[in-house]
Amino acid sequence: MGNWVVTHWFSVLFLAAWLGLNVFLFVHAFLLFEKADKYYYTRQILGSALAWARASARCLNFNSMLILLPVCRNLLSFLRGTCSFCRRTLRKQLDHNLTFHKLVAYMICFHTAIHIIAHLFNFERYSRSRQATDGCLASILSNLSHQEKEGGSWLNPIQSPNMTVEYVTFTSIAGLTGVIITIALVLMVTSAMEFIRRSYFEVFWYTHHIFIIYFIGLGIHGIGGMVRGQTEESIDESHPHECAEFFEKWGDPDSHCKRPQFEGLPAESWKWILTPSILYIFERILRFYRSRQKVVITKVVMYPSKVLELQMNKRGFSMEVGQYIFVNCPSISYLEWHPFTLTSAPEEDFFSIHIRAAGDWTENLIRAFEQQHSPVPRIEVDGPFGTVSEDVFQYEVAMLVGAGIGVTPFASILKSIWYKFRNADHSLKTQKIYFYWICREMGAFAWFNDLLASLEQEMEELGKVGFLNYRLFLTGWDSNVNFDKATDILTGLKQKTSFGRPMWDNEFSTIATNHPKSVVGVFLCGPQTLAKSLRKCCQRYSSLNPRKVQFYFNKESF
């Protein structure tokens, strides 16, 4: 527990502040509508459901303001650049952008549920008080809508006993937009489930973009002013605590209590979402401008296991290790953009990506490039964008763990190391790299065999054989293979391929023993189950003494 707190204290502090703001906004709004004189008469009809609806609405506005910020990728890349000299604890928070995006979405769903339930009670009480004939205060207040609607004194949106709740819902601005944004939210959340996002990415991609409808609906949701309160002038003339009990004499000219006047609450949602919406629009304009710049494909390579390598050039393109780009192929889909990690090094005069067939879009793209007699498809590129792997050279010791095609960010890192050694770059802070590559089939190792072979040779020539310790693991083969040769019969490398999965406790224990006073950066590009195992190992083998070995877990996320 102590190691976990040391590693994640800033994340905990940030989440505590976010949750604290949600609680504060909810309680503040709840007490306002539950206690304020302005809503005394409104509460006579609606009771506490009014406060529940308005408090949840305040939190909905707050979280809707935040939901777009974690997906403003240019903003995050800018912050990462300006924070390049910040402590890694602060910089690491930028890598949790999608996690925070999901947490905010869950909070929006939570408050949406409260808001809807509260309004169901509100509509039921509006309808019941409008149909009441006992002459009670709630009935009198509800009848104001029928008597003096033009004069602004109405309080109940249901204008006659025959008017149904469904009619009010679908003919009022608040009701109709509420239905629309609720449907949009349900579609976005369900399509973002892990199963759908992995198996039917196109469904997730298109459905998620109805956030535009959500924000437009939210911005105009409160324009109708359905929830109303007493005007300030009316309170001065006829204070509810003094005049509520004399409601039967409101129309009497001799009474000191005049009939109260009401006004709709001003729309607030647009004030909360205006700034982040403008920021996001600017983000999209910038990304659109960059994506329209011409991309020249200089080389196409097909590897086993349906993996395509594209080498490209683009004017003004500048990258760092481990960054990623978004790729669009208009001949396949005008709207779909998919993220791919760059596999080239910053020192190279081109940038490259490796694409594995993992869905309709990638299969169609690979098929388009396999057709030799047709022109090369046009590619559009947006980026690059920063990731956690940019910080790999900030650690004395680095553990790089790639699963399958997840090796791509580390290809960029290993290539950059190769160039740094060739150019005698002495600025490299990293003293040791442990590289683990886990694949299900042998053909996958063909992607970067040449790179690893070059690194082996370069390390030997420079006398740095111990700098890179790499292990290849094959999980889909029988281990009864003859390894009598000096090189591995599967890969041709000097490092023999292991079968099965790494024993992570043994690996971490060995590294902790070999580097007792080092800061070790653990970088993963792979599935969530592997991330869970590595995160636990980082906590288990980190020392509570900050002067001893510390493991910092970092995971790629797009």
Does residue 363 share a domain with residue 229? no
Flag whether 437 is in a domain.
Answer: yes
pLDDT given for residue 2 in this prediction: 46
- Is residue 498 within 8 A of residue 514, CB to CB? The reply is no
Count CB neighbours of 362 within 10 A. Answer: 20
pLDDT digits (tens, 9 = 90+) for 45-55: 888 999 999 99
Q: What is the 3-state secondary structure (H, E, C) of 152-179?
A: CCCCCCCCCCCCCHHHHHHHCHHHHHHH
pLDDT given for residue 149 in this prediction: 44
Does residue 419 share a domain with residue 327? no
pLDDT digits (tens, 9 = 90+) for 435-444: 888 877 666 5
Does residue 316 share a domain with residue 265? no
Count of domains forming the chain = 3
Is residue 213's pLDDT more than 90? Answer: yes
Flag whether 411 is in a domain.
Answer: yes
Most confident listed range (21-35, 244-258, 532-546): 21-35
Q: Which domain holds residue 107?
A: 17-284
pLDDT given for residue 16 in this prediction: 92
Provide mean pLDDT across the span 345-370: 85
pLDDT class of 91 with cuts at 50, 70, 90: low
Q: Where among 327, 356, 385 does a domain terminate? A: 385
Does residue 394 share a domain with residue 431? yes
Average pLDDT, the chain: 81
Q: Where among 239, 261, 284 does a domain terminate? A: 284
- Is residue 552 within 8 A of residue 538, CB to CB? The reply is yes
Does residue 276 share a domain with residue 337? no
Which residue is listed with tokens 């605590």? 241
Is residue 31's pLDDT more than 50? Answer: yes
CA quadruple 472, 478, 481, 487: dihedral, nearest 10: -10
Provide mean pLDDT across the span 478-482: 52
pLDDT given for residue 444 in this prediction: 59
pLDDT given for residue 491 in this prediction: 55
Q: What is the CATH number of the domain that holds 458?
A: 3.40.50.80
Does residue 336 share a domain with residue 431? no
* Of 98-102, 147-151, 492-496, 547-551, the least confident: 147-151
- Chain centre to alpha carbon of residue 413: 25
* Of 11-20, 308-317, 344-353, 436-445, the least confident: 436-445
Q: What is the CATH number of the domain that holds 344?
A: 2.40.30.10
Is residue 195's pLDDT more than 60? Answer: yes
What pTM was estimated for this model as a whole?
A: 0.79
pLDDT given for residue 81 in this prediction: 64
pLDDT given for residue 86 in this prediction: 53
Is residue 107's pLDDT more than 70? Answer: yes
Is residue 183's pLDDT more than 60? Answer: yes
CA quadruple 475, 477, 480, 484: dihedral, nearest 10: -80
* Of 33-37, 152-156, 336-340, the least confident: 152-156
* Of 140-154, 246-260, 328-342, the least confident: 140-154
Nearest CA-CA partner of 259 in 217, 230, 289: 230
Does residue 324 share a domain with residue 470? no
Flag whether 520 is in a domain.
Answer: yes
Q: Are strands 397-403 and 432-439 parallel, antiparallel or unpaired?
A: parallel
pLDDT given for residue 88 in this prediction: 59
Is residue 158's pLDDT more than 90? Answer: no
pLDDT given for residue 166 in this prediction: 84
Q: Where among 239, 267, 284 does a domain terminate? A: 284
* Of 88-92, 105-109, 498-502, 533-537, the least confident: 88-92
pLDDT given for residue 482 in this prediction: 47
- With a pLDDT cut of 70, the percent of the chain lying above it is 84
Amino acid at 23: V
- Number of helical H runs and strand E runs in the chain: 20, 14
**CA distances (Å), origin 407, targets 88, 271, 325, 398, 522:** 23, 44, 16, 15, 14
* Of 273-277, 372-376, 443-447, 552-556, the least confident: 443-447
SS3 264: strand
